[in-house]
Chains A and B, each alone.
Chain A
């Protein structure tokens, strides 16, 4: 158990819909990262938050957004869903803002299927 909690574990939804994925980081970790894993793209970094502020952005679509709340949990919002958004979405957390010796721990992922 990595200590990073993600919900829901599985989600099936229709095209055009909106979903929210939730993540609770490890106790004491201030950084939260979101990654997408798909068969064609592999593991792609989406976005990072540190202590409530956005710190880095990767290949995140405009239809996607995220935020980190004062209690440090984070949510990834996916809207106007398309079939190609079907993927495993990971949340990860670390103590600091960069790897700098910090280990980055991943949650179990949220499987999203868009039909």
Chain B
């Protein structure tokens, strides 16, 4: 059974960079698309972007200027960096898997709350 687990700081200061890692277990990270999604009470679920196992990325235009997603296949991990954060970036961040291009999200991490505050 594939499992995803997010990890990273739960508190980030305004203007700094949010960094999270998702560790994939129970299956290979290869041949799939790996996404970050966040959820806030105000904006609901928002797709941030994905990385393919080859390293190809695709980002939501609303966040593109501040987002970077990378993958480390040797560690079965992929990571999110979101720069210049503000209080509006406070959210529960999920990592999730797509079985392929134009696929639904079939596996999700449990989510991690990141609060942006000084």
Same assembly: no
